[in-house]
């Protein structure tokens, strides 16, 4: 199981050292929450900041778009060659077009789905991506309460057995064992890691 700390909960006044610390703490990927203030009621990082994060990082970026204009942001971040770019099923009319665009840049495409979106309704899309990002909070903010979406992990694996499953939102040491048991491949954790006094211990406690 891979652990991708979400930089959204880091101390932005010390961004470089936060990135270095979490890389040294044996994180596998750095999760970057890109919000446009339209799809979600919050605004986060543009290219210069994500570039600065990437320069300080020794591990791959995992870019989670929470935006209305997916193509625009794919083109913005693709030159950084992140490991994944996820976009929201709920924000896009032309899913296969965006997936194709991400693939053309040589990046693994992923589809993110809100807690209220069923796997049944996205099954025509998940066959075409490398990863499904299951939101376990409504997107927009760190530090929210975990919504149990354990059953959706198994549903994804049933429809698309080789597709990776990432869970994002309210992940901590209490729900991680159950998520692992349900078959999750990647855990995103923001406040749990960055509010912990020891990042390495926090990451280790999620691997269970």
At its nearest, how many Å lie between ligand DX5 and the CB of residue 124?
24
**Which positions lie near ligand DX5, rule CB under 6 A?**
6, 8-9, 31, 33, 64, 137, 139-144, 168-171, 188-192
Q: For residue 53, what are its two tokens? A: 């994060």
| Binds 109: which of ligand DX5, Zn ion, none (CB < 5-8 Å by kind) | none
173 in active site: no
| Binds 190: which of Zn ion, ligand DX5, none (CB < 5-8 Å by kind) | ligand DX5
Identify residues 41-70 at the interface with Zn ion (CB under 5 A). 64
SS3 state at 30:
strand
Query: In the bound complex, which residue of the shown chain has the CB atom lying closest to ligand DX5?
Result: 190
| Binds 60: which of ligand DX5, Zn ion, none (CB < 5-8 Å by kind) | none
| Binds 89: which of Zn ion, ligand DX5, none (CB < 5-8 Å by kind) | none
Taking CB under 5 A as the rule, which mask of x and - marks residues 147-186 in contact with Zn ion?
---------------------x------------------
Please, are residues 28 and 59 in contact by the beta-carbon 8 Å criterion? yes
CA distance 148 to 165: 15
Handedness of CA 46, 23, 21, 57 (dihedral sign): negative
Is 28 or 168 the residue whose CB approaches Zn ion more closely? 168
Q: Where do runs of H (alpha helix) occur along 30-131?
A: 47-56, 70-77, 95-104, 119-126
| Active-site option among 28, 33, 36, 54 | 33
Is 126 or 189 the residue whose CB approaches ligand DX5 more closely? 189
| Active-site option among 36, 130, 168, 185 | 168
**DSSP code at position 6:** B
CA distance 6 to 104: 26
| Binds 182: which of ligand DX5, Zn ion, none (CB < 5-8 Å by kind) | none
- Residue 92: C-alpha distances to residues 68, 114, 134, 179 (Å): 7, 13, 16, 28
28 in active site: no
At its nearest, how many Å lie between Zn ion and the CB of residue 135?
8
| Helices and strands (H, E) in the chain, number of each type | 9, 8
Q: For residue 144, what are its two tokens? A: 């929210």
CA distance 92 to 46: 20
Q: Which residues are catalytic?
A: 33, 168
Instruction: Please give the residue ranges that form the binding site for Zn ion (CB under 5 A).
Output: 33, 64, 168
């Amino acid at each position: 199981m891979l652990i991708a700390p979400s930089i959204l909960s880091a101390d932005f006044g010390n961004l470089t050292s936060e990135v270095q610390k979490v890389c040294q703490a044996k994180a596998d990927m750095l999760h970057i929450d890109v919000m446009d203030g339209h799809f979600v009621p919050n605004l986060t990082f543009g290219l210069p900041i994500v570039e600065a994060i990437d320069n300080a990082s020794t591990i791959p970026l995992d870019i989670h778009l929470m935006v209305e204009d997916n193509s625009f942001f794919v083109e913005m971040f693709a030159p950084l060659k992140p490991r994944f770019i996820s976009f929201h099923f709920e924000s896009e009319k032309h899913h296969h077009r965006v997936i194709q665009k991400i693939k053309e840049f040589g990046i693994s495409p992923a589809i993110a789905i809100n807690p209220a979106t069923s796997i049944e309704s996205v099954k025509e899309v998940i066959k075409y991506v490398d990863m499904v990002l299951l939101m376990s909070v409504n997107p927009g903010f760190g530090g929210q309460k975990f919504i149990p979406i354990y059953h959706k992990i198994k549903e994804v694996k049933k429809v698309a057995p080789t597709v990776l499953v990432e869970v994002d939102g309210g992940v901590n040491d209490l729900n991680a064992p159950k998520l692992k048991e349900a078959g999750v491949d990647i855990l995103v954790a923001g406040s749990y890691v960055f509010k912990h006094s020891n990042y390495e211990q926090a990451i280790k406690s999620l691997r269970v």
